[in-house]
Amino acid sequence: MNVSIQPFCTSIFVRRILFLSFSLLLTLALASTASAQKKKKKDDQQSTPNPAMQLPDEQKIDNAIGEMLGAWQLGDVEKLHAHYADDMDAVNGMWAPPVVGWPNYLASYQSQRARTQQVRLDRSNTLIRLAPGGNTAWACYQWEFTALVDGVPTTAFGHTTLVLEKRNDAWLIVHNHTSLVQSSQAAAPQPQSPPATPTKP
């Protein structure tokens, strides 16, 4: 019996080609769908602004001040520097010349921070104003500072005024003026002394 196997082999070959073609088409379809979904997700992310970007500048400044004070309390120098311009200057509450430039401010801050433990700095009565043009602002607030300084419990009150500039869409402190409020203590009454008698010539 002479049976031809050529048509049988051809049909297997054709089925394999069809199967491979179908697999290839399915893979391409899935890949293009995934690519389209990825592109759509990327487009959606670009068209949906970051919520932080939608905040008004006054709120961005208030948030930046809060982050800066948090970093100041914790001793986080990198986060602190993120809120100060390199060309900043500062006037502190002591009788001292202004500190000019971030490196000098950092050195002053680190020498003070090394003597201080259990730092707490509370801010209140913050006022923020934008200058015309929208790239400069000032903020002022009151603060209460408590800590152990050289092992001694210390409390101080004061005011700070900041001048900020918007650089690369970030508000940076370019000037920090801090004033201490002297706490007044009632003076003990002085003993009365008898009236002075005039001396005779």
What pLDDT digit, counting tens, does each position of 52-78 carry? 568 999 999 999 999 999 999 999 999
- The encoded tokens of residue 60 equal 């961005």
In Å, how far from its chain's centre is CA 109?
A: 17
39/32: higher pLDDT: 39
- Compute the average pLDDT of residues 82-109: 94
Q: How are beta strands 99-100 and 116-130 bridged, if at all?
A: unpaired
pTM over 0.75: no
